[in-house]
């Protein structure tokens, strides 16, 4: 864990703490306490907070700091990854066919990122699919560029294998569970927990019948929730100390 710990900055710690907090707010005193385990000095933290406000990451108020609207949207995506809301799968697949043409490389890259974020897999260029077990919310600009179809497949397991590398996801998830279990202090667990969130953001959230038997998604979510509860308890202890 030594190399990841070396990259932990005051900004990364503050953002991870607030992205996991509900509400996404903390006082300066709470942030000083929560970041002290990482060897971050108070002056270093205060400089980072000032820069984050200037960059639009945080909003300063009389009683502390909260996430900006842009990062609140990121928090919602993270929350969805940690607690995805599935509906019963009836065997159909949601298929998006890209109908816009002549777009520049930046626009195409942004579209790919958006579809990955919505947990679609790319079957071939311009054709994206996923089981219809999640609610699909398309913005106006995206909806204008795609055709939404409903499909069925005679070999759903084979289609899943064509869209996602599930064995690789399982292997990475199993390593993260080991990292979380073996981490001996808050900084090490923090690094493993942050990596867990990133991994869960790439979870395709498939119906149970399409998952391999050793799928670690539920265990990863529980391990992260346990760590987040520990951070909340530390924050509550700080609030009690401020009140006395």
Q: What is the pLDDT of residues 63-95, one digit of tens each?
A: 899 999 999 999 998 999 999 999 999 999 999
Sign of the torsion formed by the C-alpha atoms of 205, 87, 225 and 213: negative
Tell me the two tokens of residue 20: 């996991």
pLDDT band at 3 (very low <50, low <70, confident <90, very high): very low
Query: Average pLDDT in the 93-102 region?
Result: 89
H or E, element range at 146 = strand 146-151
Give the Å distances, CA to CA, from 193 to 45, 108, 171, 190, 217.
21, 31, 16, 5, 13
CB 20 within 8 A of CB 231: yes
Q: Name all contacts of 209-214 with Cβ < 8 Å and 24+ positions apart.
A: 209/89, 210/131, 210/156, 210/157, 210/160, 211/166, 212/166, 212/167, 212/170, 214/170, 214/174
In this predicted model, which residue has the larger pLDDT, 222 or 5?
222
For residue 79, give every residue at least 6 positions away whose Cβ sits within 8 Å of its Cβ, in sequence order, or none. Answer: none
> What was the pLDDT predicted at 5?
40
For residue 45, give every residue at least 6 positions away whose Cβ sits within 8 Å of its Cβ, in sequence order, or none. Answer: 10, 14, 31, 32, 35
Residue 8 pLDDT > 50: yes
Mean pLDDT for the chain overall:
89
- The values of phi and psi at residue 124, to 5°, are -160, 170
List, for residues 179-218, the tens digit of each pLDDT value.
Answer: 999 988 888 888 899 899 999 999 999 999 999 999 999 9
> What was the pLDDT predicted at 236?
64
> What was the pLDDT predicted at 63?
86
DSSP 37-83: TTT--HHHHHHHHHHHHHTTSEEEETTEEEE-HHHHHHHHHHHHHHS
Give the Å distances, CA to CA, from 88 to 61, 77, 156, 169, 207.
43, 21, 16, 23, 8
CA distance 84 to 193: 18
DSSP bridge pairs for 130: 94
Task: Give the CA angle between residues 72, 165, 219 to the nearest 5°.
Answer: 60
> What was the pLDDT predicted at 186?
84
> What was the pLDDT predicted at 22?
85
Please state, as a whole number, how many other Cβ atoms lie within 10 Å of the Cβ of residue 105: 7
List, for residues 118-168, the tens digit of each pLDDT value.
Answer: 999 999 999 999 999 999 888 777 888 899 999 999 999 999 999 999 999
pLDDT band at 34 (very low <50, low <70, confident <90, very high): confident
For residue 49, give every residue at least 6 positions away whose Cβ sits within 8 Å of its Cβ, in sequence order, or none. Answer: 10, 14, 28, 31, 58, 60, 65
């Amino acid at each position: 864990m030594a190399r990841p710990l070396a990259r932990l900055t005051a900004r990364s710690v503050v953002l991870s703490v607030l992205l996991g907090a509900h509400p996404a707010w903390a006082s300066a005193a709470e942030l000083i306490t929560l970041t002290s385990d990482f060897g971050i000095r108070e002056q270093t933290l205060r400089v980072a907070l000032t820069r984050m406000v200037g960059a639009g990451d945080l909003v300063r108020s009389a009683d502390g700091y909260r996430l900006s609207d842009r990062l609140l949207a990121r928090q919602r995506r993270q929350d969805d990854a940690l607690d995805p809301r599935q509906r019963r799968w009836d065997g159909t697949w949601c298929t998006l066919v890209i109908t816009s043409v002549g777009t520049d490389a930046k626009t195409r890259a942004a579209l790919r990122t958006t579809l990955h974020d919505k947990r679609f897999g790319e079957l071939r260029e311009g054709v994206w699919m996923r089981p219809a077990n999640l609610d699909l919310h398309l913005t106006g600009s995206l909806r204008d560029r795609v055709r939404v179809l409903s499909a069925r497949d005679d070999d759903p397991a084979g289609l899943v294998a064509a869209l996602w590398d599930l064995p690789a996801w399982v292997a990475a998830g199993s390593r993260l569970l080991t990292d979380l279990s073996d981490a001996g202090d808050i900084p090490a667990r923090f690094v493993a927990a942050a990596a867990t969130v990133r991994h869960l953001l790439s979870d395709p959230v498939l119906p149970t019948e399409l998952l391999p038997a050793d799928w670690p998604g539920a265990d990863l979510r529980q391990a992260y929730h346990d760590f987040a509860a520990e951070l909340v308890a530390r924050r509550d202890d700080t609030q009690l100390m401020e009140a006395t």
